[in-house]
Amino acid sequence: MTLKRKNIYLALFASIIGVAAVFVWFFVNGVTEESDDGRTSIILNEDEKDYVLLEMRGLLEAVHAITVGLADNEMEDISSAAKKLGTGHTGKEPVSLITKLPLEFKMLGMATHGIFDEIALEAEGLGDPAIILDKLSDVLNNCTTCHAAYRFDVSR
């Protein structure tokens, strides 16, 4: 291999590492700034904000459906509502969004989907309403924890 070609490969390798490092940096830190209300503001574009808020409204609908299911003791309704929000339905988020959400936010989000998995499992298995209610309160704890820490703002 000539020296020139070697240098080209080295430069290429260095830029791939550079791009990967930038991706990892954003994957961990996201795109955020401090806001006036004390929460961390995550800066998204209009489409990304609409995308996450649609998902949020879906979460609230599921919490409602599970509450109704508990009141009526309808385990099938609970499992179908919880399954829609389990970890099996994650991973379709646009890459741009993934790089803008801080790692801590993504982990809290994934943990929340994980508890919906557990609710679905319990509803399909023994179907103990007390256990489901307990897990639902864990879910709600994640909702309120995250809402107290973060907000979304649109980049101008």
How far, in Å, are 59, 97, 103, 150 from residue 27 at the CA level?
23, 10, 6, 16
* Sign of the alpha-carbon torsion through 67, 145, 60, 104: negative
Using the rule CB under 6 A, which residue among 4, 33, 46, 57 binds ligand HEC?
57
Beta strands in 102-155 (DSSP E): 150-154
Q: Write out the H or E segment, with its range, that includes residue 43.
A: strand 40-44
Subset of residues 69 to 128 that bind ligand HEC, contact rule: CB under 6 A: 105, 108-109, 112
Q: Which is nearer to ligand HEC, 75 or 116 (CB)?
A: 116
Q: Which is nearer to ligand HEC, 84 or 151 (CB)?
A: 151
Q: Write out the H or E segment, with its range, that includes residue 33.
A: strand 32-34
Site string for ligand HEC, 14-43 (x = CB under 6 A): ------------------------------
CA distance 77 to 123: 9
- Which range of residues in 23-31, 73-81, 90-98, 145-153 is near ligand HEC by CB under 6 A? 145-153
Binding site for ligand HEC (CB under 6 A): 53, 56-57, 59-60, 63, 105, 108-109, 112, 139, 142-143, 146-147, 150-152
